[in-house]
Amino acid sequence: MKRYITILVLAATLIVLSACQLAREGTAQEEAWMVGVFVTTEHLDLIGSLEGQIAPMRRGRPDFSALFQPGRLYAQWDETIGDFRFPDVEGIALFSAASPHTENEIFISHVGGSISDGHTNVYFGDNEKRVEMEGTIYIVPGSAAMSIIHMNPVFQTADGSVFLTTGNSFSGHGLGVEGRVFSTSMSETRTVTENGVENTNSTSVTLNVASMFAPTKIVLLQMDEYSRVVMRTEFAPGEVPQALHMESETAYAIVETHRDSQHDPIVRELVQKAWHEQRISTFVAGEDGVLGKTWTEIIWP
């Protein structure tokens, strides 16, 4: 009986080792690299989708690598808007991926509307490509979104497919004041040798999370050269028009942001007269507590 048990254990071990070897081979054959992150306020349970699956057959034998592959959620390319979309998932995109179905490789920065103060730097060299992305998400203190944030890495394969995997979680629970909550970065560098030449591709993403009180109304005061009010205009958050025309008597303007805060209820911004393109930014809070930034052009007569 002991001998039979030993034989069964050895056989099971050989099967597991063979499956692990196939998993490594299958993973190595697929070329995929990190292109950014997709931020969600809820955990994405992608691992559970593999439970109960049977290993598919490939070349007459089971492909165990499919069972060892981590859960993925693939994006869909929308031709009408020229962007990637993850089906049935709400989140904030911060990645730079090559658009499919194009003769030349075109990289598009996919930045969600809730990303503020963001920028993307792309560097192309003879044997190097480097992408650096950074953005800030503002969240209302005490909101549900402040409890926990998930930073899910996004990858792109050699055939142009884009997918995400479950990432790390960060919490700002209990924070009731304004300011910086945390900052985190993800990076990946890969080097491929072709015909004796090394080609290096690297991607780095920095996500900053800060807290900000929710605006209740936006007030625009147009002032003349004697600091008298020329016109007072009030807007609800999110309803500030894309362009505001100043009156001929206006020498400068003051933007008042009234907020849901007892200690600092009003924040004022001075807008001086300029002859070049000039914009102001205002915020609006979503149902989840994430603040989106909108831009308004100031037009002087």
Q: What is the pLDDT of residues 89-119, one digit of tens each?
A: 889 999 988 877 655 567 788 888 788 888 8
**Domain assignment of residue 5, yes or no:** no
**pLDDT exceeds cutoff 60 at 220:** yes
The answer to whether residues 153 and 274 belong to one domain is no
Share of the chain above pLDDT 90, in %: 37
pLDDT tens digits along 259-282: 999 888 999 999 999 888 899 999
Last residue of a domain, one of 153, 176, 211: 211
Work out the mean pLDDT of the chain and round it to a whole number: 80
**Domain assignment of residue 19, yes or no:** no
Count of domains observed in the chain: 2
**Domain assignment of residue 225, yes or no:** yes
The answer to whether residues 178 and 97 belong to one domain is yes
The answer to whether residues 171 and 79 belong to one domain is yes
Report the pLDDT value the prediction gives residue 8, as an integer from 0 to 100: 39
**Domain assignment of residue 112, yes or no:** yes
Report the pLDDT value the prediction gives residue 27, as an integer from 0 to 100: 38
The C-alpha atoms of residue 85 and residue 93 are separated, in whole angstroms, by 9
**Domain assignment of residue 204, yes or no:** yes
Q: In terms of pLDDT, which residue wins out, 124 or 9?
A: 124
The answer to whether residues 225 and 196 belong to one domain is no
Report the pLDDT value the prediction gives residue 13, as an integer from 0 to 100: 40
The answer to whether residues 198 and 251 belong to one domain is no
**Domain assignment of residue 61, yes or no:** no
Spatial neighbors of 224 by CB under 8 A, at least 6 apart, are 230, 249, 250, 251
The torsion angles phi and psi of 13, rounded to 5 degrees, stand at -65, -40
Chain centroid, CA 161 distance in Å: 17
Which bin fits 269, alpha (ψ -120 to 50), beta or left (φ > 0)? beta
Per the structure block, which two tokens stand in for 220?
């625009």
The answer to whether residues 220 and 253 belong to one domain is yes
The answer to whether residues 232 and 148 belong to one domain is no
The answer to whether residues 178 and 92 belong to one domain is yes
Of 222, 226, 286, 228, the C-alpha closest to 254 is 222
Domain limits for position 269: 215-299
The answer to whether residues 94 and 116 belong to one domain is yes
Per the structure block, which two tokens stand in for 216?
């209740």
Per the structure block, which two tokens stand in for 232?
């007072």
Report the pLDDT value the prediction gives residue 270, as an integer from 0 to 100: 97
Torsion of CA 112, 113, 114, 117, to 10 degrees: 90
Report the pLDDT value the prediction gives residue 122, as an integer from 0 to 100: 85
The answer to whether residues 285 and 231 belong to one domain is yes
The answer to whether residues 201 and 269 belong to one domain is no
The answer to whether residues 198 and 238 belong to one domain is no
**Domain assignment of residue 38, yes or no:** yes
Share of the chain above pLDDT 70, in %: 79
Helix (H, G, I), strand (E, B) or coil at 26: helix
Last residue of a domain, one of 211, 245, 269: 211
Report the pLDDT value the prediction gives residue 123, as an integer from 0 to 100: 86
